[in-house]
Amino acid sequence: MAKLEQVLPSRLRYRVNALQSYTVPIPGSGPVVDPSVLTALAAACRDHERLRFDYASHSGALSVRTVEPYRLAHLRGRWYLVAFDLDRSDWRTFRVDRLTPKIPTGPRFPPRDLPSEGLASYVDRSVSTAMWQFRARIRIFAPLAVVAARLPATAGVLTEIDESSCYLDAGSDSPGMLLRYLSMLDLDFSVAEAPELVDEVRKLAARYARALE
């Protein structure tokens, strides 16, 4: 890439530099994305210019999004745009192969602070949670720091309740799979939201009770 930059015209060199500077690589392989889309997004990140684009969700629903673009990330073979969604007043991660930028870009904006966990961790967690087929909120009766030490960053989102308990917003492909994962934590918990998970707990409790007969 460095040798390529040396022979490019200044206008193209500026675009390549933007793509390098505003991209975070996280290894993998996946769908091919139009290079012109990547350079347009990288330029908007570099110049701190608002961006509008058509976006197709995982279910295929279409929407128009207005964002303050922050960085591009390449994770597990897919390109993602990390941006602050102005309509939702929160950070979001968008798959680049599902968006179509509207050119020209909008007005400039002062950059915001990204969530404190860091860009790579934020993208990894956002992408992992988006893939969940089943979701639940669990109250775990242990300090947040204790739970965090036993969970990978992609396992879910922890929220402190008090000094001795916290919520875990987590998910998996099925209630049974999530319950098996919770059992491995070796911590007391209760299901705050998700009746399907409550049913799985009852089934497992009955199975263990029969094992003692």
Q: Give the pLDDT of residue 6.
A: 46
Domain assignment present for 106:
yes
Domain assignment present for 51:
yes
Residues 32-59, mean pLDDT to the nearest whole number: 88
Q: Is the pLDDT of residue 179 over 60?
A: yes
Q: Any idea which residue has 């319950």 for tokens?
A: 179
Q: Give the pLDDT of residue 21.
A: 54
Q: What total number of domains does the chain contain?
A: 2
Residues 131-153, mean pLDDT to the nearest whole number: 85
Residues 92 and 160 in one domain: no
Residues 53-66, mean pLDDT to the nearest whole number: 89
Cα 119 to its chain centre, rounded Å, is 10
Q: Is the distance from CB of 158 to CB of 151 less than 8 angstroms?
A: yes
CB neighbourhood size of 199 (10 A): 14
pLDDT higher for 130 or 38?
38
What angle do helix axes 10-21 and 35-47 make, rounded to 10 degrees? Answer: 80
Domain assignment present for 128:
no
Range of the domain at 106: 2-114
Average pLDDT, rounded, for the chain: 81
